[in-house]
């Protein structure tokens, strides 16, 4: 379980890839979409960013994703795992 507040992003701000105006995506969500899509302008993820993704995917997937397996994924796949875990979590909570 990550104890970091959700609004404390380990990613730098980037403009949203999917919203035209009035973007309500969080900093992390924006960054993950760019990393997944190959449009992230800040190079490979840092060890801190990868660690955040691993912890977040593990937390949101409620144990379905193993940190040891996530650690082997390339940046884009790791970022995608977090987005999928979030979507699954939202579905499981009846939020989607
Ligand atoms: Zn957005």
In tens, the pLDDT along 50-61 reads: 999 999 999 999
* Residue 81 forms part of a structural domain: yes
SS3 3: coil
For the chain, what's the residue count? 96
Ligand 1 centroid distance, CA of 93 (Å): 22
Give pTM, 2 decimals: 0.84
What spacing in Å lies between the alpha carbon of 12 and ligand 1's midpoint? 15
Question: Minimal CA–CA distance to 16: which of 41, 35, 37, 33?
Answer: 33
Residue span of the structural domain in which 66 resides: 46-96
- 75 lies in a domain? yes
Structurally, the chain folds into a number of domains equal to 1
> Ligand 1 centroid vs 95 CA: distance in angstroms?
18
Q: Which two tokens stand for residue 82?
A: 């977090």
Q: What is the pLDDT of residues 24-79, one digit of tens each?
A: 888 899 999 999 999 999 999 999 999 999 999 999 998 889 999 999 999 999 99
Separation of 92 CA from ligand 1 center, angstroms? 23
Structure tokens at 22: 């009035």
pLDDT tens track for 2-13 = 454 444 679 988
Residue 61 lies in a domain: yes
Ligand 1 mean position, distance from CA 7 (Å): 15
Q: Evaluate whether residue 22 is within a structural domain.
A: no
């Amino acid at each position: 379980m990550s104890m970091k507040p959700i609004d404390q992003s380990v990613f730098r701000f980037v403009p949203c890839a999917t919203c035209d105006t009035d973007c309500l995506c969080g900093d992390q969500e924006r960054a993950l979409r760019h990393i997944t899509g190959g449009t992230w302008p800040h190079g490979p993820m840092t060890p801190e960013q990868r660690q955040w993704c691993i912890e977040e995917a593990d937390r949101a997937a409620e144990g379905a994703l193993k940190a040891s397996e996530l650690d082997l994924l390339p940046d884009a796949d790791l970022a995608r795992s977090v987005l999928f875990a979030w979507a699954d979590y939202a579905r499981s909570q009846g939020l989607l």
